Structure 1
Amino acid sequence: MRSLQKQKKSFNFLFSNMIDAERDTDSFISVLTRSKSLLEKVFDSIVDPIYVVDKDHTIVKANLAFLNIIGKKNFNDVIGKKCYRLFAGRKNICRQCAVDQVLKTLQAKKTIHTFAPKTKKKVYFETFCYPAETDKGNNVILHMIDITKRKDLEQMTERQNNRLLLLHDISKSMHSTIQLNVLLKQILGGILKLGFKRATVYLINEEDNLLEGIISTDMKQKEIQDIRIPINNDDSMVANLIKNKKPILISDVSKLKLADDTLIKNTKRKSFLALPLTIASRIIGLLTVDNKDKSLFLSENDMKVLQLFASDVALAINRALLIDRLNTFNQRLKNQIKKATIDLRAKNIRLKEVDKMKTELLSLVSHELRTPLTSIKGYSSLLLSDKFGILKNEQREGLEVINLESDRLKDVINDVIELSKLVSGKEQLILEPADVNEVIKSSINLLKKEANTKNIEIHFKPKKCKKLVIDVDKIKHALYHLISNAIKYNKPGGSVSILINDNPYFMQISVRDTGIGIERKNIDRIFEKFSQLEEHMTRGGTGTGVGLSIVKEIVDLHTGDIWVRSVPGKSSTFSFTIPRNIKVTKKSQDEYELAKTIEELETVRTIVNIMHTDIQLKNLLELILKSIQDFVGFDRVRLYLVEKDKNKMRGIVGIGTPNMNKIEISIEDDDVVQKILKAKKANVYHYYDNKDVNRILGKEADLPFVAMPLIVKNKVIGMLTADNLYSSKIITKQNLRSLTMFANTAAVAIENGRLMENMELQVKERTKELLEANERLKKLDKQKDEFMSYVSHELRTPLTSLIGYSKLILGGSLSKEQQLESINIINTEATRLKFMIDDFLDLAKMEAGKIQMNKESTNIKDLIKEVLLIMAPLAKEKNLSIDLTHDSIGLVKIDSDKIKQALYNLVGNAIKFTNKGSIQIELLDKDENIQVNIADTGIGIAKEDFYKVFDKFKQIQHSGKSSRAKGSGLGMPITKQIIESHQGKIWFESETDKGTTFSFLLPKK
């Protein structure tokens, strides 16, 4: 067996050497003639088909392999037959053996041919024809070698090369497209050009964990968009693709056990291929390809080609999505800037909000003042009902209550003023090292009496710790408020605990009670300035209601933090920290809001900067150029950008080229640069004799370079150039393709950076506007302080009278007549103070929108008559007549109590400022409205004081007897609020010493 194999090898070697060495034909024939036994062994041993023909193309000898290849069983079926009948099937023509040529030239010849005598499958043979002399004359020996596999491989290679060239063209087209819808159509067109019948693109919706159909070659857009496949189903093909990140090839779908998979259901094809679209190990979607033709099964080679295509598709789609998101973000940013502009305008409305804050402060003061003032009123009235004589114990107790409540009212005012100073930043810290244990003990001692009254225990265990640098008085004041609240809102028999937690960085102080707690919804509002929680009233405590706001401002001044934890119905714990290395800062609430707004805008800018990377634009461009140098293989890379005037380009960054910022290129005058920019793709350029171009682009005279315009939205924004100065390497097509990808990335980054610069400019402009708004707010803060001074002055005047006269009565040195006069004064002042506080409270509620309107159908004529009936005694005292004239008017839908209050104010002022004459009231029908005129013959109003009439901050100084009529000065602002809350209008006309007419208009419905 071994000898036979050796012989076969030796014969094959012999034949191949005969051809390769092109031996002399005569010597070869002589060798075969002398060695007939060798010829016999050739036919018996060699595995390839061999046969011998004579000059007439008749087969005279053949081996068994020849019989097999032509499908014959016996040698008798072959010997003596014409070879052209077996192969070509045409008489006198045999392309295989070339007998005539070989015998004529006596030289060996090689031919290649195909035939399919039995299987009908095309078979390729390479046949060596040798001249030979036998006992039957000059013949030809033919040796057949099967080269079908080699031929198939050559054809497959050629098809693969053609596909790769086509793939390159398709990819180049895709990378020049930034619009997603256009790109998707190009992808499908590319699939069809590559020879595949059907394709579908899916993208992952990460928010909903779904794979969504985007576009398909043979499905309607609505059908493909209805495809939504969950990606968290572990048994599905989609989940497998996402997990393994490898393509799945199914040559025959019908043989697949999981043919009911959701992804497979979307195809009725024979073969199926799914490829993940991957960017930096992250899958953004899938590309599926399938064929319906049963004879066109998808192969491994198809999969390899499509894997290359899928990589380019993923890059192109990701780039288009980034640009689309950038455009969306740009639009959203514009909307945000527009909203910020509206917010800035709203800062002007902040002027009104500050005014509202002041009125809410008044409301807060009024809430706390009403209780003590009611006591003053009650006890002074009680004194007036008795006869004169030595004061009884009950009377003395009543006057003591008057003194106590008056003092408490002063405390309320003082707290409000202190909070106002803290908020405005007028209070500065006086820092000194202090023993916190002693500070806490001092605050506890101030409240021991109050705690004992409610049977509440205060627990505090001093802790050894270093002294803390603080403002002792202010921290003591803060602790006083916290401990006082803990007692005030505690349960009888409960406890209050003060705890210290010290560490090297800060000290924490906590005040814990066993009281009624705070509802969760109100915890966020507990420290709000100038606002009072309703719970403060319903929890049963008394006080200013601004204590916690004062505590927070004190802690903020110490750059500390304060918070509260509470369990409703069980307990509350207030904690605050003071840093050991305290750095005192002074910042008003408005400045804090301004800083926060700027910080939000800066955050928006930061988000834009890190869309592609978290570094600055120039550093990002340098990184891209360095990547081109490292990964693409260029020695030097340079980037230029078009200037704003679009006629010049300037160097920005470069690798291997110094002083890039000094390079300037004129686009108009340079036809070379114009040609580069108009090409809109990467090309290699040779300009050996153009010195200007070589100088501008920083290249050597004989050095080729590659240039690529930077394009965004079909607009050229710059140029990228590269060369191989040092290595002299050849610039390949692969270099151009890679450079194109990096250039497109650089273009998007540059456009993104320019957007950021534009936004930064807008942020600066908005910041400037915010600073200007802040200045206006500071001015309003000054006005607020002036108004607080006004309120304090107005309240203190009657209080001083109350306290003074009550002390005189308590002193026992007054006669009965003097006592009676003093008590009358107390009653008058208390009544006036109550009306004044009511006015403050009403105005504050109206401006804060806390007054509910109860509109109902009302007879306005009867309402006016009712007011005039009540006001008649006041007019009679001054000998004034009041006349009413009216049209016939039906029912009007109004809040009768509010309109009655407005009429009281208007008629009351008319009586108050009229010494003689009359008051005329008119009720007129004005179609959809009614008009009321109140005209007097009083002292009138000077024109320079017109603007003060409805201003709650101004009072008109009149001359004469009526110049100092007592009251809050808020009657007209309240009246204006009432009329405007009915969607009405109020105005007046006046002349000095002749009288004034106030008119208001109200809708009937």
Structure 2
Amino acid sequence: MAIIIGIVSLLPNFITGVEIKNQVSNVKTGDLYNLFLVYFVAAIVISMVIIIFSFKRSSKKDRPRVVFLISGILIMTVLASITNLILPLITGNNYYAKFGSLFTLFFVALTAYAIIKHSLFDIRAVVVRSFAYIFSIMTIAIVYAFIAFGVLGRFIFSSGNVQVPLQQQFANTILAVALAFSFQPIRRFFERVSNRIFYRDRYDAQAVIDDIGRAMASEIKINLLCNKVASEIMNKLNISAADIVVLQKNELIYFTKNIKAKLNENEIKDIYELGNRTIYIDDTNSSSKIKLMRSLNISLSVPLRTKNSFLGYLILTEKQSGSTYNSQDIKTIKIISNELSVALENAKAFMEIQNFNETLQDRINKATKSLQKANAQLKELDEAKDEFISMASHQLRTPLTTVKGYVSMLDEGDFGKLTNEQKQSVDLALDGSNRMARLIDDLLNVSRMEAGKFYIEPTKVDLIKLVQEELNLLQTMAKSKKVSLSAKLHINKLHALNLDENKTRQVVMNLIDNAIHYSEPPKGGGRVEVSLAEKESEVIFKVIDNGIGVPKDQQSKLFTKMFRARNAKEIRPDGTGLGLFLVKRVVEDQGGRLIFESKPGKGSVFGFAMPIHNKIKIDNTAKRNLNKGSSK
């Protein structure tokens, strides 16, 4: 449209003439001039509509800039319309039109204020570009003039004629073409020079963001993270000082101490009052906050927050170059602050986990000390108990041996023949004495284990004979319990084994004795079956009963010291929990292995498998950890 108006303005009917009257020039317009007036008004209206719509869509930060721009255009348009349009139509002369151009000063002044105060445009970019183009053109013009008129015209093609020789014209043309091609390199040279002058603190924003992002990723502790990021921001953005203030519910968690060495409580509260938006020292919308920032020597304050929490502030002083923060600086710093907020939230979560771990570790240490103290006390009690058992066993053994000897003499008729009723009573007394003797032997063996003096003393043992003798001794007790005790010895002859006869006898007796006691007589009666068989290179001894069995949840503890299953305590409250513990120790120390199977309510199988060529343990000095039982 402007091109059309420009063409129309050349036609005779646009401006018909100029009349000078009383030293005042009056322009006489034609009919086509009305088209220009319509264009002028339409351009003003459309421009204002566009600016108003831009104002509505603009951010809170951009609106002051647009307001100054609209104000400048309105003042200029209204006043210029009065002097250049309305008054000429009313008075019929253009005397006041000469004042119209002066009103553009309002537009220029308000636009300049918006540029300087509110960064309407990056004026440095305009200056730099203008500097580059002006000096490029000046350079080309000077070079062309010097060569064309100085060198070529004066020295080479000098003829004294006013008319330029054809050869010089041709040379000038070649020179002009050469200089035209050199324009871009010259322009780039002056751009580099102008950038060094006007953009001394220029940086690659993406590279800065990437570098600081890598610094954030390399640290998880709040203090190291904050110090490293603050240092990177100062170095990469050429800022005099930068601090990161980490807050939590008005309390200071960490402060990097680059701007100030220390923040007191009032200053912490003041910083917290900076709010949730970015504030620049030249922002006139928050005068009280600007005053606060000046008192703290802060030029830019950026809040650190995520979607769910407020974390603190990134506060910056002036730039080292003394220049103001431009739009690129603030945009870059906002991106960095967003990444820093996420990094700080992760660091705070790590700190909370670390604090929880430290608290938990402290509690664990205290609990461990309590357990160690309790364990030491239990060990003392256990030692006292073992000492008592050892002493009591030794004290009981001598009188029990005497009692057992006299009862044996009675049973054998040394004091006269006994009646059947007397014989039965003496047998019961002898059986009780034997059981008491076995209990004392168990207690003494445990005492020896505690002292590290439990020895295996191997000799050649006839296992068939040993088992048969124990069966004979236990028959009386089996009858008294109404339990059928039978044996299946599938070996007619067995090579003598290297065993500790007394301890092996104790193992056999303990297994058969337990089977008798825990075989409750059902309708068909209690039943215990003892078997001895040879399989491959092992001799296998088993005691099978139809008794109460062992609960599954307690089977793993059955061979540990002093342990008794729940149902066993109900059947035999006077048990000690030492028998099976000793069985395990004796069998394994002689190179054998335990046999155990059980179904609760249906019975159990106890026994051992002993290699024919068994290897006896000879390291008898090592003290075993009996509190845990055997770990094999």
More helix by share: 2
Query: By percentage of residues, which structure has more strand?
Result: 1
TM-score between both structures, scaled by the size of structure 1? 0.27
Tell me the TM-score normalised to structure 2 length: 0.40
Bigger Cα Rg: 2
